[in-house]
A = this chain, B = another copy of it.
Amino acid sequence: MTQPPIRIVLADDERMVRTALRAILSAEPGLEVAGEATTGAEAVSVVRELRPDVVLMDVRMPEVDGIRATEQIVGSMAQPPRIVVVTTFENDAYVYDALRAGASGFLLKRSDADALVQAVRLVARTDTLLFPSALRSLAAQHARSAAPAAPWVSRLTGRERDVLRHMADGLTNAEIARRLDVGPATVKSHVAAVLAKTGARDRTQAVIAAYEAGFLSGR
């Protein structure tokens, strides 16, 4: 029943945090802290060298952040370790980005010692609580529409948004005019403004921009 210990690398720029994590994890039978890193870049090289089973990765780190480091590790190793991203807030953006980058799990800094240990043990096993394969594509898909939060969207006037939404429903200018109860010429003006602001050449490109920017999020 004796198994090889779960080897862990800690990546966090604050010494206090690393010390605390190490203290908790080292006390656990079957867990072993193999190494530490204080920057994202260092994390990548340390992980590549030590080939641990699990990496506890802070999001905020100098130079290269945790997300990017995760990306590089997952992208460059044949059998990358499970990476648990440690974060302070339940910030949505972080979650999506980290999933897309290849993280296997999340841990909030306010979690207690028990949760930490359990999370590490769990994520070290291959197929327990959810994700990698399934969520990877899901996150990738979501990233496209939620990531940039396009700049031009905020520059559209209210009417222009109305018109763009109807354009994205595949309506002609005349149809939009009827829906909005205005003249066709008015719609043309709004369409022209939308094209200018989105940088689109024609209505098709404008609709594409709307989709890519997640402009249609509210249906």
Q: Report which A residues bind B (CB closer than 8 A).
A: 90, 92, 95-96, 105-108, 110-111, 115, 118-119, 121-123, 125, 127-131, 133-135, 137-139, 141-142, 145, 167-170, 172, 200-205, 207-208, 211, 217
Contact = CB atoms under 8 A, between A and B. Distances in A.
Contacts of A217: 141
One complex includes copies of this chain to the number of: 2
A119 B115 contact: no
Given A106-B130, A108-B128, A138-B96, A205 B118 contact: no
Nearest to A217: B141
Nearest to A205: B170
A173 to B, nearest CB: 11
Contacts of A135: 95
Given A142-B141, A168-B208, A204-B204, A115 B108 contact: no
